[in-house]
Every structure is written in structure tokens, then in C-alpha cells.
């Protein structure tokens, strides 16, 4: 169950349940930020927990994360969204650097081939000049499949790669590096948004994650810049 805390003109003691872009949420209005805000957050989180809410959407740069965790709630983790769209992130980085994909190499690194890494390789293969597959387990087989299916040059190292995507911790790569594991993913330097949402919500990655994982919004509606 998903919940939402938001600032408002006044503090509301009772939770309300209503939809937000198709997501049915238990929502709590904190009121304006001030001296009592911390206690209000704790109180509302306890009520959300009793409603069986386990994940929560929060205002940007919310300063009371410790109180959220103390009451048994967690924020929406955007890592699955980032990993599932690794190819789009890499293409956005190339665009930021004014590099043409057809003339650029991308390196993929990880401990083993998983769904996200394989998907990124297959999506990038028709679009880039070449790939470097640096994966300990299953990398050689994936490289062979990519050569056979797409006829793309696949290299065993990341020499001359414009972008290196790390799916697990590894030594430093080449070019611009995207770390799609742990908290580092949110520091990739790529903005994810959707024009399908109003401006005040269009850049909320946690909300976009919740909408995407529940099928309320598709990958085609996401923009990477």
C-alpha cells in the first residue's frame, strides 16, 4: 500500500484516501513547515502504518526521513526504474555530450548478466557503434548473441567508451560513468520526467517510479534529458 505526505495550509489529523493519477493513496496533510512539523509527521506516519501503508511519497528534499523510518515506512525506491531504463540513460548522456550514438561506444559492466543488463545491451545494439561487455558471469555468451543477432562489434574491454554503465560495484570505467546500483543511481546526472503529468509532479522520480511499476504510465511516456 502506498501513502503520501504533503504540506498544506493547515494540519489535518485525519488521513484521507483518494486517487492521484490513478494511484489510490492514503494521504496526510502536514500543514506548513514549522516547529511542530516533526511531531505531526510522526503522528501521521503511525496512522499510515496502521492503514498498512509501507511505502510513502514525500515532498522534495523532505527533512524528516528519520521519523519516517522510525515508524516502519520506507520511501519509493527508484532504482528499478533507473536499471530498467539503462539504455535511455546512456543515450541521454550521449546527447548531453553532443555525441552521436552511431559513432559512440558504450560499456556495460556487472558481476553477471541479469534482465536489466541484457535488456540494455539489446536496446543499445541497433543504435550505437559498438558495445563493451565486461561481465564476469555470462558476458561471453551475451556478447556472442549480440554479434549474431545485431552484427554489432562487441569488445572485451571499455577502451574508447563514451559511457560506462555499472550494474554492480566495479573499478573505475572510461568516459561518463553511470552507477545503477545502490543510492548512486540517483546521482547519474540525467533528469527523468513526463509531460503526461502536471508541471509540479512531472519531475518527481518516486512518483514516476510508482506509476511505472503499476502500469499507470509506460516507458514511452518518460523523457530522459
- Whether 116 and 162 map to the same domain: the answer is yes
Q: From residue 67, how far is each of 29, 46, 75, 138 by CA, in Å?
A: 16, 10, 12, 42
Q: Does residue 112 sit in the same domain as residue 171?
A: yes
Q: What are phi and psi of 183, to 5 degrees?
A: -75, -15
Confidence at residue 182, expressed as pLDDT on a 0 to 100 scale: 84
d(CA 101, CA 89) in angstroms, rounded, equals 12
25 lies in some domain: yes
In a domain, 64, yes or no: yes
* Same domain, yes or no: 125 and 182: yes
Q: Give the separation between CA 176 and CA 96, rounded to whole angstroms.
A: 11
CB distance 23 to 211 below 8 Å: yes
172 in any annotated domain? yes
The domain boundary residue, chosen from 31, 59, 75: 75
Residues 103 and 71 occupy one common structural domain: no
| Residue 155 included in any domain | yes
**Are residue 68 and residue 102 in the same domain, yes or no?**
no
Helices (H) and strands (E) in the chain — how many of each?
A: 7, 12
Output the domain CATH number for residue 113.
Answer: 3.40.50
* Helix orientation angle between 139-150 and 115-124, rounded to the nearest 10 degrees: 30
- Does residue 107 lie within any of the structural domains? yes
* Whether 71 and 109 share a structural domain: no
Last residue of a domain, one of 75, 108, 127: 75
Neighbours of 166 (CB within 10 A): 22
Q: Which of 45, 75, 105 is the last residue of a domain?
A: 75
Query: Would you state the pLDDT for residue 10?
Result: 92
Check residue 129 and give its pLDDT. Answer: 95
DSSP H or E segment with residue 91: helix 86-96
Same domain for 100 and 183, yes or no, is: yes
Q: Identify whether residues 56 and 124 lie together within a single domain.
A: no
How many other CB atoms sit within 10 Å of the CB of residue 206?
18
pLDDT in single tens digits along all 225 residues of the chain: 999 999 999 999 999 999 999 999 999 999 998 899 999 999 999 999 999 999 999 998 899 999 999 999 999 999 999 999 999 999 999 999 999 999 999 999 999 999 999 999 999 999 999 999 999 999 999 999 999 999 999 988 777 899 999 999 987 777 899 999 987 777 889 999 999 999 999 999 999 999 999 999 999 999 999
- Which pLDDT belongs to residue 170? 81
For residue 155, what is the DSSP state?
Answer: E
The C-alpha cell of 187 is what? Answer: 546521482
Q: Which domain holds residue 67?
A: 2-75
The secondary element (H helix, E strand) that includes residue 87 is helix 86-96
224 found inside a domain: no
What pLDDT does 16 receive? 96
Q: What CA–CA distance (Å, rounded) separates 55 from 57?
A: 7
Do 115 and 172 touch, CB atoms closer than 8 A?
no
pLDDT for position 174: 79
Residue 66 sits in the same domain as residue 161: no
Residue 128 counted as domain residue: yes
Query: In this structure, are 93 and 111 located in the same domain?
Result: yes
pLDDT of residue 14: 95
Question: Is 31 found in the same domain as 64?
Answer: yes
Asked whether residue 90 falls in the same domain as residue 36, the answer is no
Considering its fold, how many domains does the chain have in total? 2
Asked whether the CA dihedral 198, 199, 201, 204 is positive or negative, the reply is: positive
pLDDT for 130 equals 94
Query: Shortest CA distance to 167 belongs to which of 189, 147, 184, 192?
Result: 184
**What confidence score (pLDDT) does residue 215 get?**
96
Amino acid at each position: 500500500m502506498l501513502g503520501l505526505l504533503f504540506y498544506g495550509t493547515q494540519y489535518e489529523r485525519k488521513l484521507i484516501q483518494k486517487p492521484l493519477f490513478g494511484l489510490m493513496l492514503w494521504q496526510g496533510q502536514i500543514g506548513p513547515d514549522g516547529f511542530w512539523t516533526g511531531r505531526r509527521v510522526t503522528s501521521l506516519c503511525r496512522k499510515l502504518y496502521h492503514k498498512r501503508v509501507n511505502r510513502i511519497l514525500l515532498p522534495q528534499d523532505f527533512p524528516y526521513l528519520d521519523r519516517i523510518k522510525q515508524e516502519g515506512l520506507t520511501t519509493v525506491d527508484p532504482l528499478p526504474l533507473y536499471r530498467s531504463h539503462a539504455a535511455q540513460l546512456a543515450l541521454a548522456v550521449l546527447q548531453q555530450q553532443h555525441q552521436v550514438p552511431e559513432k559512440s561506444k558504450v560499456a556495460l559492466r556487472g558481476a553477471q548478466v541479469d534482465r536489466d543488463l541484457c535488456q540494455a545491451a539489446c536496446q543499445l545494439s541497433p543504435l550505437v557503434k559498438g558495445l563493451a561487455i565486461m561481465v564476469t558471469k555470462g558476458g561471453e555468451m551475451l556478447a556472442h548473441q549480440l554479434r549474431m543477432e545485431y552484427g554489432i562489434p562487441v569488445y572485451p574491454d571499455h577502451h574508447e567508451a563514451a559511457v560506462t554503465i555499472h550494474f554492480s560495484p566495479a573499478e573505475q570505467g572510461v568516459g561518463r560513468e553511470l552507477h545503477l546500483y545502490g543510492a548512486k543511481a540517483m546521482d547519474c546526472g540525467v533528469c527523468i520526467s513526463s509531460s503526461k503529468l502536471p508541471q509540479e509532479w512531472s519531475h518527481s522520480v518516486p512518483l514516476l517510479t510508482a506509476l511505472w511499476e503499476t502500469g499507470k504510465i509506460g516507458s514511452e511516456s518518460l523523457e530522459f534529458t
